C-alpha cells in the first residue's frame, strides 16, 4: 500500500523503537524530546504525534525495560581466612601467604556462595582499584550520568 520497501519500513520501526526506549530510559523532558526529533526534519504534525506517543507511553516503557533488566546477585556476607605456608619438603624456609574468601550472594530469594583465593599483593591491588572507582563516582560527571539513569 505504501509503495515502500520492506527494509525501509523495518528500519523506520526500529528507529522509532530506539527513539522511544532511549528517551524513556533517560526520562528526557518534553523540550529535550522535541529538540531531538526536530533534527530529523519531520513535519510539525508528526513531531506533535511523536511527542504525544512518548508522553503517553514513557512510564510503561520504563516499567517494561525494568522487567527486562538482568537480575544481578547482591552481596550478603563475606567469610575470609589467611593461610600461610611456612615450609615445604623442597624449601625449608618460605613464606607463601594466601587469602581465601567465601562470598555469599543473594539472587531473588536464592543464596549462593563463591570461593575466591588470591595472594595479598593482588588483593591490595584490587582494593586500590575499587577505591579509585568509588572516588570517580564522586565526580560531577559520574553523578550526572547516574542521575540520568534513574
Q: Which helix H or strand E contains 102, and what residues bound it?
A: strand 96-107
CB atoms within 10 A of CB 50: 20
pTM: 0.49
Measured distance between the N- and C-terminal CA atoms of the chain, rounded to whole angstroms: 42
Reduced to 3 states (helix: H, G, I; strand: E, B; else coil), residue 112 is strand
Angle at 95 between CA 89 and CA 98, to 5 degrees: 105
pLDDT in tens, the chain (150 residues): 778 888 888 998 998 899 898 888 888 888 888 888 888 888 889 889 999 999 999 889 988 888 887 888 899 999 999 999 888 878 778 888 999 999 999 987 889 999 999 999 999 999 999 999 988 888 877 777 777 665
Amino acid at each position: 500500500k505504501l509503495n515502500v520497501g520492506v527494509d525501509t519500513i523495518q528500519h523506520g520501526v526500529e528507529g522509532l523503537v530506539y527513539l522511544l526506549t532511549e528517551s524513556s530510559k533517560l526520562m528526557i523532558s518534553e523540550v529535550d524530546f522535541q529538540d531531538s526529533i526536530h533534527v530529523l526534519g519531520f513535519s510539525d504534525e508528526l513531531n506533535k504525534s511523536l511527542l504525544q506517543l512518548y508522553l503517553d507511553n514513557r512510564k510503561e516503557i520504563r516499567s517494561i525495560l525494568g522487567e527486562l533488566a538482568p537480575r544481578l546477585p547482591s552481596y550478603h556476607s563475606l567469610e575470609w581466612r589467611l593461610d600461610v605456608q611456612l615450609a615445604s619438603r623442597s624449601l625449608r624456609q618460605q613464606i607463601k601467604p594466601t587469602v581465601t574468601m567465601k562470598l555469599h550472594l543473594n539472587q531473588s530469594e536464592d543464596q549462593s556462595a563463591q570461593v575466591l583465593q588470591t595472594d595479598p599483593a593482588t588483593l591490595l591491588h584490587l582494593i586500590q582499584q575499587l577505591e579509585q572507582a568509588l572516588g570517580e563516582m564522586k565526580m560531577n560527571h559520574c553523578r550526572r550520568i547516574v542521575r540520568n539513569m534513574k
